[in-house]
Amino acid sequence: MRLYHNPRCSKSRQALALLLERDLEFDDYRYLEHGIAEEDFELLLGMTGIVRPQEIDKSIQFDPNNKPQLRKLLQDNPKALQRPILIKDGRAVIGRPPENILDLLD
């Protein structure tokens, strides 16, 4: 289980707290430091709303349905990745609100 986490984001910290409260083992993945894990791209690129438009320079144009273009955008600008995201057993959920991550824990 991997949590894409930005410690400066309150929603991300809340999602982290939910996992810690349940004493679950997971990878606290700091994607701003490490980039997006190669093995997660296919799953993430299939998600709706995976990009934070407010984190992208207005001059950058992209088609959210064009996976190669979206992949390049997120590789070049990991800050544009929505957060937090929990990945477990080939499924992923955006933690907005943070309680959404609980859907993968059942």
Predicted TM-score (pTM) above 0.85: yes
Establish whether 9 is a catalytic residue: yes
Provide the sign of the torsion angle of the four alpha carbons 3, 102, 64, 53, taken in this order: negative
pLDDT for residue 60: 86
Exactly one of 9, 43, 102, 104 is catalytic; name it: 9
Please state the CATH superfamily assignment of the domain spanning residues 2-104 in this structure.
Answer: Glutaredoxin (3.40.30.10)
One pLDDT digit (tens) per residue for the chain, 106 residues: 999 999 999 999 999 999 999 999 999 999 999 999 999 999 999 999 999 999 998 888 888 899 999 999 999 999 999 999 999 999 999 999 999 999 999 7
Contact 24, 47 (CB under 8 A): no
pLDDT for residue 3: 98
